[in-house]
Structures are given as structure tokens and as C-alpha cells.
Amino acid sequence: MESVVSQSLENYYKGKKIFVTGHTGFKGAWLITWLQLLGATVKGYALEASDEKSLYSIVESKIIFESIIGDIRNREKLTKEIAAFQPDIVFHLAAQALVRRSYEVPSETFEINVVGTSNLLEAVSQLPGKCSVIVITTDKVYENRETNYHYKEDDTLGGYDPYSASKAATELVVISFRNSFFNPARYTIHQKAVASARAGNVIGGGDWNKDRIIPDIIRSLMADEAVAVRNPAAVRPWQLVLEPLHGYLILGKLLHEDAARFSGAYNFGPVADDHLPVKDLVKIAIKCWGNGSWIDTSDPTQPHEAGLLQLDINKAIMELNWHPKLKSSAAIEWTINWYKQLPENIFNYTLQQIQNYQQQ
């Protein structure tokens, strides 16, 4: 039977006007599909999908929503589209979201992630009515000392690579707008609220991005090649894509109902003892696929990527009553099973995974 929380979300989001940036991306496509099931009226704003095999290319013709193709850096167009829609809640997922690509296009990464977020929040600040914004950042916003420590929301922000630093800077933009324009103490006047969501490493069906572990695994297994693993010992907070999305939906609801209480930052990730090294993820994925092998391609000259990153999720558990439903091993299994589906079954299987998750 569907959980009380899921019923509450359906009751809340039904008929709500939800603006989603980055809806053509991996997480964005899952989110708009879930919002469709919840009965929301959805408008998306993003660049064209980057891969014809993407989840978005599968769902776009099968769900009802409005799609605007545009660049988050185009402040005039973004402002116009938000003003025309008058959203109740905004989920801001549009981003340059790849660590290794940020080394190739550092300035573009900062423009998209920092300036793009500022453009969005400025547009929302000009709306006449009530609106709440969830800005999606990352677990990599913290000054990572790579020690056996689980980062909390009030820990120091930082970032070694351009991607991480741009997301930490995005958090500063959120804090500035919260203080300057969305101050909870003056909520009755401006009726705007903003919170940020810092999710761990997200896996799930429909991700075909370059230099991400699951797409790399799937491409290799499909080609009957050994999976090349850059950082087999690196430990990450793996989670199924539906886990943080569930958190975003809960946070969106609560923030819209009580801005003073829920304006702030929240971590979303696995429980403390469920952070796996990359090599374990690869081994589980190969086992779920049914065959395959992997090789260690560690190279000290490759761009830096953190070796250890862990999140403390107690704030989300205590304040939002959110908690991860699946262990990392189950998240990997759900993900691999998605990729094993026949093309004609993928959309229905995507809906089935959302519905099965809600019933956990």
C-alpha cells in the first residue's frame, strides 16, 4: 500500500504549478515524470537533451508538460518564462554537473552554475505572489579534507575543482538572496522562500553522461569490454535517483508551507554505514548484469577527484522526516535492471520504479 508520505505528496502537488530547470537532464527527466504522476502542472526550462538515448527523449512524448528550450544564462528569456508561468514552486536543477568537464570549461561551469542560479533567483524575486525555490547543488560543496568525517550542512564550504567550487559559490548566492530578498523575517511582505539540497552521488536508469561511473559501466558491458575504473578505492555516498528526488519533493512542500522553518540547506544521501568504494559498486553492477569484468585504470596524472566523501543526513531525517529507503546495493540493482529493459518497455518500467519506490 502506498505510504502516507506519498499520499501526502500527491494531495499537495496535484494542481500545483511547478517550474523545473534542467528538465531535459537525467535527474530532471525523472522529476518531471514523478510530478506528472502526482498531478502537478509542469513547465520545464533547459537546453536540448544531450543524448538521443536519454530518459528525457523517452518520456517527453508520453507525459503532459510544457517544455521551453533555453539557456539558464539568458536572464531575459528565463525571467519572461517564469513570469508567464507564475509558479508555486521552482526546482532548479539546470547545471554544468560534471567534475571532469569542469576542468575543460571552467569559466563556462561558473557561468552556468553561479550566474545561472543568480538569474533564476532574481526572476523569482520579481514575481508578485508566493513562490518557493529548491536549488539543487551537490555533496561536493564542502571543503573536503578527505578524512573519515560525515559533512554537515553548517560545515565550511569549499571546492578543489571548478565544478565543486562553482557549486559552493552557488550556495553563497542562495544565502545572499535569502538574506537580501527572501529573508524569512519579512516573508509576509515578499512571500518568497529558498532552500538548497545537497545530494550525494546519484545513480539510476537513463543516465548516459560522459565520465560517470554507471554510464561507463553500461557502455562497456554492452560492448562486451572490461569496465575501465579510474578511482576504484574512492568512497562515495551512492543513492538511487529517486531518493534525493523524494527529498526535494518533501522539502518543496514543507518550504512552501513554512518558509521560516525550512529555509536552509539539507543533505540527502545514504546512512552513515552505507558509503561504498567505486570498486564495490562496479562488482555489484557486473553481478546484476550477469557477466563482465573490470580493470583498474588509475592514473596519477588525471584530473583530481576526491578519494573520500561522506554526508551526514541527520538534519533531513529529523526536520523533513525523510530517510533513504534503499541500501546502496539495492540502488545499484534497481539501476542495472533499468538498463536491461527492452526499449519498448523502458517508459512503463520507469513509472513502475517510481511506484515501487513510493511503496517501500
How far CA 75 is from CA of 51, 110, 124, 192, in Å, comes to 25, 15, 11, 19
Q: Residues near 205 by Cβ (< 8 Å), separated by ≥ 6?
A: 55, 241, 334, 335, 338, 339, 341, 346, 349, 350, 353
Coil/strand/helix, residue 188: helix
Does the domain spanning 4-358 belong to CATH 3.50.30.30? no
Coil/strand/helix, residue 312: coil
How far CA 354 is from CA of 170, 250, 334, in Å, comes to 29, 15, 11
DSSP per-residue codes, 249-262: HHHHHHHHH-HHHH
Question: Strands, DSSP E only, in 24-158?
Answer: 41-46, 66-69, 89-92, 131-136, 150-151
CA nearest 230: which of 285, 294, 284, 289?
294
Coil/strand/helix, residue 287: helix
How far CA 292 is from CA of 46, 208, 216, 218, 277, in Å, comes to 36, 19, 13, 10, 19
Q: What is the pTM of this model?
A: 0.94
How far CA 84 is from CA of 62, 68, 89, 302, 353, in Å, comes to 24, 12, 14, 46, 33
Provide the residue-wise pLDDT of the chain in tens; the chain has 360 residues: 344 455 688 899 999 999 999 999 999 999 999 999 999 999 999 999 987 789 999 999 999 999 999 999 999 999 999 999 999 999 999 999 888 899 999 999 999 999 999 999 999 999 999 999 999 999 999 998 888 899 999 999 998 999 999 999 999 999 999 999 999 999 999 999 999 999 988 999 999 988 789 999 999 999 999 999 988 988 888 999 999 999 999 999 999 999 999 999 999 999 989 989 999 999 999 999 999 999 998 877 777 666 678 899 999 999 999 999 999 999 999 999 999 999 999 999 999 999 999 998
